[in-house]
C-alpha cells in the first residue's frame, strides 16, 4: 500500500463474549474470522456466525476506512482510503485497485489511483499508477553520509501518470510496454539552514546558477514480468520479478537524455510448510544507466511505487543516482483464526555518492509489527509496524495490505 493509504488504527475492541447469547463468534478461536466479523459481533451478538468466504468469484471485495493517518513524512492526516480485490474470471488472477484522498498536518494533498487488472484468461495485465500531489517534504541531500540534522523542506506539486500493458508470453511470464510521465512544478526550497549551497542546488543548478522551478521526466518503458502470486494483496507463496527499462529521451520532452533500470524481485516461502506462516524476501534496485535524472526523480528511500522501502527511516532519507535494497520478513499467526498475526523484519539500503559514483555506505533497518485481518474475502491485513534505523531514526509504519 502506498504512502497515501498509511493508516493508524486508533482502537479495535475484541469481544469474545460468553454463552449468554448462544453460540457466538470467538475472534481468537473460530476458524477464518476477520475484523468485519468482530464488528458484526459487537453490533448483533446473538447466534452470530462467521461469514462464509465462498461467494461469487466476480464480486468485488472492498476494504476501506475513513481514518486518522500518520507517517514520518506527512505527520498526522485525515484520509479516506479503500482497496478492492476481484476476479474477471474463474481462472484469472486477483485484480486489485486502490485509491485514497489525504490531507495532512503539513498541508500536503495526496490523491492516487493505482490498479492491476487481469483479463479473464490472464492473457493481459493493465497496470496503472496515477497520482496528484501537493507535497512539501523533507530532503537530506545525496548519498549515505547525511544525517537527520541535514533535513529541510522542498515544496512542490507533482503529477504522475504511469501506465503499462503486459501480454502473456507463457504461463506466468509477461512482456509489456508503457509510458511514464512525471511532472513537478512550483519547486522551492524552504528555510534551509545550510550556509553553503545545498546538494539540491549543486545537483540541479551546477555552475550556471539558473533557477528552475519545474522538472519533467517522460519516457516509454519496456517491461518484463514474472508473477506467480495468486493474490498480490497478501501473497503466501510464489515468485515475483518485475524489470523496467525506461529511456527518457529528449524527443519526449526531457531536458537531457537519461536511462534507468529497475529490478523488483520477491519470493514467498511457506515456513513451516502448511503452517500459514510465510518467509518473504524482497530486493528493489534502481540504477541510472546514463545521463542525469531530475533531482526529484533520483532513487530514494521509499521511492518504490508503494513507498515501502526502508522501514525504520523517513521517506527520502537517502538519495542517489543508484539504489540497492534488500529486505526479509517473517509473517506468522498469533490466533488460530488468523485474525491477529505478527511479523519481524530487517532491511538494508545503499546509495551511490554523488562525488564518486560508488556505493560506500549501508543503512540497515529492522523492526516488528502486528497484522489484523481486515477482510478475509480479499485477505487484506491491516499492517502496523514499528521500525528502527541508524542515527536514532525510528517510527510507526502502517499499511492497508502487506508491505510487499
**DSSP per residue, 19-54:** STTSS---TTTSSS--HHHHHHHHH--TT--PPPS-
Give the mean pLDDT of 141-151: 92
Nearest 5°: CA angle at 67, between 156 and 59? 105
> What is each CA distance from 337 to 33, 82, 151, 399, in whole angstroms?
6, 24, 44, 21
Structural contact between residues 294 and 215, judged by C-beta atoms closer than 8 angstroms: yes
Asked if residue 295 has pLDDT above 70, the reply is yes
Neighbours of 58 (CB within 10 A): 12
Cα 196 to Cα 207: distance, rounded to the nearest angstrom = 14
Q: Is the pTM of this model over 0.75?
A: yes
User: Domains in the chain and their CATH numbers?
Assistant: 3-400 (2.40.160.50)
In this prediction, residue 7 carries a pLDDT of: 38
Measure Cα distances from 33 to 25, 57, 86, 170 in Å: 8, 19, 20, 37
Tell me the residue ranges of DSSP E strands in 56-192: 61-71, 75-86, 95-104, 109-118, 124-134, 137-139, 152-170, 173-190
**For 166-202, how does the pLDDT look when each residue is reduced to its tens digit (9 = 90+)?**
999 999 999 999 999 999 999 998 865 555 788 888 8
Residue where the block lists cell 521511492? 303
> Which of 391, 381, 260 minimizes the C-alpha distance to 322?
260
> According to the model, what pLDDT value does residue 76 have?
84
Question: pLDDT-based confidence at 352, cuts 50/70/90?
Answer: very high
Amino acid at each position: 500500500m502506498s504512502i497515501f493509504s498509511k493508516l493508524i488504527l486508533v482502537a479495535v475492541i475484541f469481544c469474545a463474549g460468553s454463552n449468554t447469547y448462544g453460540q457466538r463468534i470467538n475472534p481468537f478461536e473460530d476458524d477464518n474470522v476477520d475484523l468485519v466479523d468482530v464488528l458484526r459481533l459487537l453490533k448483533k451478538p446473538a447466534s452470530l456466525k462467521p461469514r462464509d468466504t465462498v461467494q461469487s468469484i466476480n464480486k468485488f471485495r472492498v476494504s476501506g476506512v475513513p481514518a486518522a493517518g500518520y507517517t514520518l513524512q506527512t505527520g498526522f492526516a485525515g484520509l479516506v482510503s479503500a482497496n478492492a480485490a476481484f476476479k474477471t474470471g474463474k481462472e484469472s488472477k486477483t485484480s486489485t485497485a486502490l485509491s485514497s484522498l489525504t490531507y495532512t498536518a503539513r498541508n500536503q494533498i495526496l490523491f492516487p489511483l493505482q490498479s492491476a487488472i487481469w483479463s479473464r484468461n490472464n492473457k493481459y495485465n493493465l497496470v496503472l499508477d496515477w497520482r496528484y500531489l501537493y507535497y512539501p517534504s523533507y530532503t537530506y541531500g545525496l548519498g549515505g553520509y547525511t544525517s537527520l540534522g541535514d533535513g529541510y523542506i522542498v515544496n512542490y506539486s507533482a503529477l504522475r501518470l504511469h501506465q503499462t500493458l503486459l501480454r502473456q508470453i507463457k504461463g506466468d511470464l509477461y512482456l509489456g510496454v508503457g509510458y511514464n510521465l512525471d511532472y513537478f512544478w512550483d519547486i522551492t526550497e524552504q528555510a534551509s539552514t545550510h550556509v553553503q549551497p545545498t546538494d539540491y542546488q549543486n545537483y540541479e543548478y551546477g555552475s550556471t546558477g539558473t533557477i528552475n522551478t519545474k522538472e519533467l521526466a517522460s519516457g516509454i518503458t519496456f517491461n518484463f514480468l514474472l508473477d506467480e502470486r495468486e493474490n498480490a494483496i497478501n501473497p503466501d507463496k510464489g515468485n515475483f520479478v518485475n524489470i523496467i527499462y525506461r529511456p527518457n529521451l529528449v524527443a519526449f520532452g526531457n531536458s537531457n537524455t537519461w536511462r534507468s533500470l529497475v529490478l523488483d524481485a520477491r519470493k514467498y516461502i511457506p515456513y513451516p510448510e502448511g503452517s500459514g506462516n510465510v518467509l518473504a524476501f524482497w530486493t528493489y534496485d534502481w540504477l541510472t544507466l546514463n545521463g542525469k535524472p531530475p533531482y526529484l526523480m533520483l532513487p530514494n528511500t521509499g521511492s518504490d511505487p508503494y513507498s515501502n522501502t526502508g522501514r525504520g527511516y523517513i521517506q527520502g532519507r537517502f538519495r542517489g543516482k543508484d539504489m540497492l535494497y534488500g529486505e526479509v520478513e517473517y509473517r506468522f499467526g498469533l490466533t488460530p483464526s488468523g485474525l491477529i498475526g505478527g511479523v519481524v523484519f530487517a532491511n538494508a539500503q545503499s546509495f551511490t555518492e554523488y562525488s564518486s559514483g560508488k556505493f560506500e555506505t549501508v543503512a540497515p533497518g529492522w523492526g516488528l509489527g502486528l497484522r489484523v485481518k481486515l477482510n478475509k474475502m480479499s485477505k487484506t491485513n491491516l499492517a502496523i509496524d514499528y521500525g528502527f534505523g541508524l542515527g536514532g531514526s525510528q517510527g510507526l509504519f502502517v499499511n492497508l495490505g502487506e508491505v510487499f
